[in-house]
């Protein structure tokens, strides 16, 4: 049998609801429930600050912790009639806002759990100011500008030889530098100008000066042409004596013979010890050791390397090579691969047309003929040049 509690009307006082007749009289279980509710209402607010229930606890667990049995059941969980009562536990009316108290208890409980599992805060890092728009810049200490070393110029390192351009020192051959008003000087100046135009047009620098036969005036023309070229300001002219059969450039200039051309062409003597500087615009490579094996020296591959290094190091504008006659030895033919053109000197007294034709035939296909210079021309007493 189940017992149900019937509540009194709201308007009636509590004492009247308890003293009504037997039909409306409160049962024993209802009284106990009423009395327990009153007790909890007076006691729970005083105990709430000491211990709040966990969020999962409800009113039934609180009553069980107090040691009191649930209403509507005995201590063994059965009713007085021996049957198990199916009673729904009503909510406890504490007189307070239950939702607020439960939320506060849940908040405190979660705070405790958060404090227990709270991770160790990271170590504060030093403040770094980064520019988001501009990439980080590295400050480099300002240094004084370092001047780069200039390119080594062997031209100014060549030993300088005193040379008399006015012709006061006697020489074996007349020099046009001492006779500027003579027709010969004007002829060499004309030869110089025509030669420079041809070289500049083709980008050439190496010129071989030779003649069909010995005694045609090759050395005389090579030396005076070099002196005429040296008169051009800010120019560089190199004169090389490659006539191993009869070297004569040093004697024609009136300077002491110096150096061994064969040792220089084979690389045994450095360039700074062989060449001599007569002025800021003229350098001479003389030869004081005649050699009858001139053809073999000029065929040597080392000669080609030395000549190329000479032109690159000195940065010469024009290089003149005084060579022996074309028709007497094969020296010129051996050296033709190293030159850009040939200037042929003809003797007005002895050179024939057949010799000039033979020279042109030997040079054809090897090196261009830049021109033919007529030396010892008796009609005008000057050197004529036929381009």
- Predicted confidence (pLDDT) per residue in 193-221, tens digit: 999 999 999 999 999 999 999 988 999 99
What's residue 315's pLDDT? Answer: 94
Rounded CA gap, 257 and 110, in Å?
112
What's residue 194's pLDDT? Answer: 94
What's residue 359's pLDDT? Answer: 94
What's residue 80's pLDDT? Answer: 43
Count, residues in the chain: 387
The dihedrals phi and psi of 239, each to the nearest 5 degrees, come to -115, 120
Pick the more confident residue, 159 or 67: 159
Instruction: List the single range of 122-136, 176-190, 193-207, 291-305 with lowest mean pLDDT.
Output: 122-136
The two structure tokens encoding residue 333: 């033919």
- Predicted confidence (pLDDT) per residue in 307-344, tens digit: 999 999 999 999 999 999 999 999 999 999 999 999 99
Please tell me the pTM assigned to this model.
0.60
Domains along the sequence of the chain with CATH: 14-109 (no CATH), 157-386 (3.40.50.300)
DSSP codes joined into one string, 111-155: HHHHHHHPPPPPPPPPP----SSS---------PPPPPPPPP-GG
What's residue 70's pLDDT? Answer: 47
- Predicted confidence (pLDDT) per residue in 213-243, tens digit: 998 899 999 999 999 999 999 999 999 999 9
Per-residue pLDDT for 108 more than 80?
A: no
What's residue 139's pLDDT? Answer: 53
What's residue 333's pLDDT? Answer: 94
């Amino acid at each position: 049998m189940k017992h149900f509690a019937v509540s009194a009307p709201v308007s009636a006082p509590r004492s009247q609801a308890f003293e009504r007749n037997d039909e409306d009289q409160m049962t024993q279980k209802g009284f106990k429930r009423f009395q327990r509710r009153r007790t909890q209402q007076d006691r729970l607010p005083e105990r709430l600050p000491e211990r709040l229930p966990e969020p999962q606890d409800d009113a039934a667990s609180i009553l069980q912790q107090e040691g009191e049995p649930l209403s509507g059941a005995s201590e063994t969980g059965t009713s007085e009639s021996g049957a198990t009562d199916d009673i729904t536990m009503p909510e406890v009316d504490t007189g307070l806002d239950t939702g607020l108290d439960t939320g506060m208890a849940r908040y405190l409980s979660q705070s405790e759990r958060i404090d227990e599992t709270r991770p160790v805060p990271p170590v504060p890092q030093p403040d770094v100011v980064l520019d988001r728009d501009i990439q980080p810049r590295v400050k480099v200490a300002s240094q004084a500008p370092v001047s780069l070393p200039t390119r080594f110029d062997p031209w100014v390192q060549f030993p300088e030889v005193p040379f008399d351009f006015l012709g006061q020192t006697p020489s074996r051959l007349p020099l046009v530098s001492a006779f500027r008003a003579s027709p010969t000087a004007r002829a060499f100046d004309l030869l110089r100008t025509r030669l420079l135009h041809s070289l500049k047009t083709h980008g050439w620098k190496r010129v071989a000066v030779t003649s069909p036969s010995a005694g045609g005036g090759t050395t005389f023309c090579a030396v005076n042409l070099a002196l005429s070229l040296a008169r051009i300001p800010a120019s560089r002219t190199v004169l090389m004596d490659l006539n191993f059969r009869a070297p004569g450039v040093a004697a024609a200039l009136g300077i002491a013979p110096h150096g061994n051309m064969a040792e220089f062409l084979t690389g045994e003597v450095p360039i700074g010890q062989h060449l001599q500087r007569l002025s800021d615009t003229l350098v001479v490579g003389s030869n004081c050791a005649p050699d009858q094996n001139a053809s073999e020296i000029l065929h040597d591959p080392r000669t080609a390397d030395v000549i190329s290094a000479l032109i690159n190091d000195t940065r010469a504008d024009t290089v003149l090579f005084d060579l022996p006659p074309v028709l007497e030895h094969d020296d010129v033919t051996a050296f033709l691969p190293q030159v850009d053109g040939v200037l042929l000197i003809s003797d007005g007294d002895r050179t024939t047309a057949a010799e000039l034709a033979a020279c042109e035939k030997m040079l054809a296909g090897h090196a261009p003929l830049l021109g033919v210079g007529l030396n010892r021309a008796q009609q005008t007493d000057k050197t004529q040049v036929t381009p």
